[in-house]
């Protein structure tokens, strides 16, 4: 395995593919030529990439939930319920935890036990075990664009089966599905394995089949500064484009300050277009996804709807292409289908009320966009330099050096030196910038913001601010003020 950001040849891809399809017996049913013919007949209204392109052209913000259960018929019923009762524009198949860890035997046990119990005993849809035929039943029973959402470091077989079955969008990436999800999986391996997924989708593109790819934007979902998540998203976008992917959605997780969140979506799209063009990827369609608050939620459902509504309003005002919707059961565990639909309808109502309103380009918004862009450029350019003009190699070296660093990540390959906290207006700043390669004026900017909050609260800047902010929203606030 030699990691580098270079398009794999067909020989390189197919040599590995032969082994990947043996990881579970259902791999033998993957037939690329048949899959291409099947995709050619998928109507535009059920095609993820085409629906996103239409939304971007029309200035729409589409809604999408998370959802997945163990058994095929129940999963079909769940998705149709969310489409009909939740008014969802786009639908997911969220994959179970066993499949995410390539533990297909345990996933099969979960299916068997779910059949006995008459209800799902898995926290998602075990697509690998159901195989191409089973997964295609879902595709043919749901009249909406479908995406695979998961959290899988090695998602090669999952990708082969679900795309062959007719799914038109695939989430994840070698960084974003490793650092926030795994403890001891090397970045070299996950970036390499995700190059396989991207090359597979690139080969579909060579046959005229456009599959949407979406790196996972929120990372750990806890006070992640925009420049950190943007850097990972853009790197993963570039790695996908190099392998031939033509339709890419880049994501961002809500931080909570309206100005910062709108600025983040605008800066993400502008920076992605800038860096894609800079490196010669001029034929990619780029869209954005805004994730409603990914941190702790209030247990009270009425308060949870407040958090959901704020995320919906922000997504609409930021003009994100789509929004990933939370539920009022977020603090309690896996939601009922009714609660999931409630979150969707709440979000749809907010989007419809705000779709004709434009957020003005104020001095404050422009300043925030410029700050995010400056920080992100510092990181991206240093990653490129560390890799000897290669983002794949650079990403590995950047995490080793702390040039890329994700707060509160379980991975031992992330230094976890940066400490985020909110400023006095609730925007996410850095209490400790760690080894991020910021210019002195950017470091001073963060120090000044923390000092301003500390003065307002009558306390010294400290780690306690970080702790207070982690729990603030679940306790009914944005900023974790001292009692």
Task: List every span in the chain annotated with CATH 3.90.970.10.
Answer: 417-482
Annotated binding-site residue? 326: yes
Rounded CA separation 131/138 (Å)? 11
Annotated binding-site residue? 180: yes
Question: Does the pLDDT of residue 310 top 80, yes or no?
Answer: yes
Kindly list the catalytic residues: 100, 171
Residue 322's SS3 state is strand
pLDDT of residue 89: 98
Rounded CA separation 213/250 (Å)? 9
Between 1.20.120.1770, 3.30.470.160, 1.10.4160.10, 3.20.20.240, what CATH number should domain 10-354 receive?
A: 3.20.20.240
Annotated binding-site residue? 150: yes
3-state secondary structure 242-256: HCCCCEEEEEEECCC
Cα separation values, 280 from 96, 147, 174, 276, Å: 37, 28, 21, 6
Question: Does the pLDDT of residue 325 top 80, yes or no?
Answer: yes
Annotated binding-site residue? 19: no
pLDDT of residue 468: 97
pLDDT of residue 428: 98
Confidence tier at 370 by pLDDT (50, 70, 90)? very high
Q: Give 472-483 pLDDT, tens digit per residue.
A: 999 999 999 998
Question: Does the pLDDT of residue 333 top 90, yes or no?
Answer: no
pLDDT of residue 1: 72
Q: Give 157-199 pLDDT, tens digit per residue.
A: 999 999 999 999 999 999 999 999 999 999 999 999 999 999 9
Annotated binding-site residue? 196: no
Cα separation values, 328 from 295, 309, 334, 340, 365, Å: 13, 11, 10, 8, 30
Percent of the chain clearing pLDDT 70 (strictly above): 100
pLDDT of residue 299: 95
pLDDT of residue 483: 83
Arithmetic mean of pLDDT over the chain: 97
Annotated binding-site residue? 177: yes
Q: Give 393-428 pLDDT, tens digit per residue.
A: 999 999 999 999 999 999 999 999 999 999 999 999
Annotated binding-site residue? 123: yes
Task: List every span in the chain annotated with CATH 3.20.20.240.
Answer: 10-354
Q: What are phi and psi of 170, to 5 degrees?
A: -140, 120
Rg for the chain (alpha carbons), in Å?
21
Annotated binding-site residue? 330: yes
Q: Give 451-466 pLDDT, tens digit per residue.
A: 999 999 999 999 999 9
Residues 6+ apart with CB under 8 A from 375: 225, 226, 227, 436, 438, 442
Percent of the chain clearing pLDDT 90 (strictly above): 99
* Average pLDDT over every residue of 311-324: 98
Q: Give 199-243 pLDDT, tens digit per residue.
A: 999 999 999 999 999 999 999 999 999 999 999 999 999 999 999
Annotated binding-site residue? 37: no
Q: Domain 417-482: state its class.
A: alpha beta
Annotated binding-site residue? 171: yes
Note the pTM of the prediction, 2 decimals.
0.98
Question: Does the pLDDT of residue 14 top 90, yes or no?
Answer: yes
């Amino acid at each position: 395995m030699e990691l580098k950001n270079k398009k794999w040849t067909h020989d390189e891809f197919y040599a590995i593919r032969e082994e990947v399809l043996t990881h579970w017996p259902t791999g033998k049913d993957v037939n690329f030529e048949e899959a291409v013919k099947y995709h050619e007949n998928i109507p535009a209204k059920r095609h993820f990439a085409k629906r996103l392109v239409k939304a971007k052209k029309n200035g729409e913000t589409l809604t999408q939930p998370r959802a997945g259960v163990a058994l095929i018929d129940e999963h079909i019923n769940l998705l149709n319920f969310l489409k009909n009762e939740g008014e969802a524009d786009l639908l997911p198949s969220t994959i179970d935890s066993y499949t995410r860890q390539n533990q297909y035997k345990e996933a099969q046990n979960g299916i068997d036990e779910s059949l006995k119990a008459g209800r799902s005993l898995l926290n998602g849809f075990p697509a690998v075990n159901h195989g191409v035929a089973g997964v295609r039943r879902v595709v043919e029973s749901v009249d909406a664009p479908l995406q695979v959402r998961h959290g899988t470091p090695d998602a090669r077989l999952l990708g082969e089966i679900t795309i062959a079955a007719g799914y038109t969008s695939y989430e994840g990436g070698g960084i974003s599905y490793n650092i926030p999800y795994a403890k001891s999986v090397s970045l070299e391996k996950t970036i390499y394995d995700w190059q396989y997924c991207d090359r597979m989708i690139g080969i579909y593109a060579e046959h005229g089949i456009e599959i949407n790819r979406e790196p996972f934007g929120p990372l750990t979902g806890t006070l992640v500064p925009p420049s950190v998540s943007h850097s990972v998203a853009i790197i993963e976008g570039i790695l996908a484009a190099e392998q031939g992917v033509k339709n890419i959605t880049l994501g961002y997780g809500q931080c909570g300050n309206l100005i910062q969140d709108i600025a983040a979506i605008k800066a993400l799209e502008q920076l992605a277009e800038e860096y894609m063009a800079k490196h010669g990827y001029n034929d990619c369609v780029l869209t954005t996804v805004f994730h409603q608050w990914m941190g702790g939620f209030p247990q009270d459902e009425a308060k949870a709807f407040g958090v959901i509504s704020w995320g919906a309003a922000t997504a609409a005002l930021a003009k994100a292409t789509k929004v990933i919707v939370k539920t009022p059961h977020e603090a309690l565990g896996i939601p009922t289908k009714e609660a999931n639909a409630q979150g969707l309808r709440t979000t749809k109502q907010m989007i419809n009320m705000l779709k004709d309103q434009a957020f003005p380009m104020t001095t404050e918004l422009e300043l925030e966009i410029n700050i995010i862009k400056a920080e992100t450029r510092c990181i991206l350019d240093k990653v490129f330099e560390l890799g000897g003009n290669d983002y794949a190699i650079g990403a590995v070296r950047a995490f080793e050096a702390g040039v890329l660093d994700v707060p509160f990540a379980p991975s031992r390959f992330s230094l976890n030196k940066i400490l985020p906290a909110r400023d006095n207006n609730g925007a996410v700043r850095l209490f400790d910038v760690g080894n991020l390669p910021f210019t002195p004026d950017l470091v001073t900017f963060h120090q000044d913001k923390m000092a301003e909050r500390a003065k307002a609260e009558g306390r010294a800047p400290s780690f306690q601010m970080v702790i207070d902010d982690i729990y603030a929203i679940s306790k009914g606030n944005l900023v974790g003020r001292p009692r």
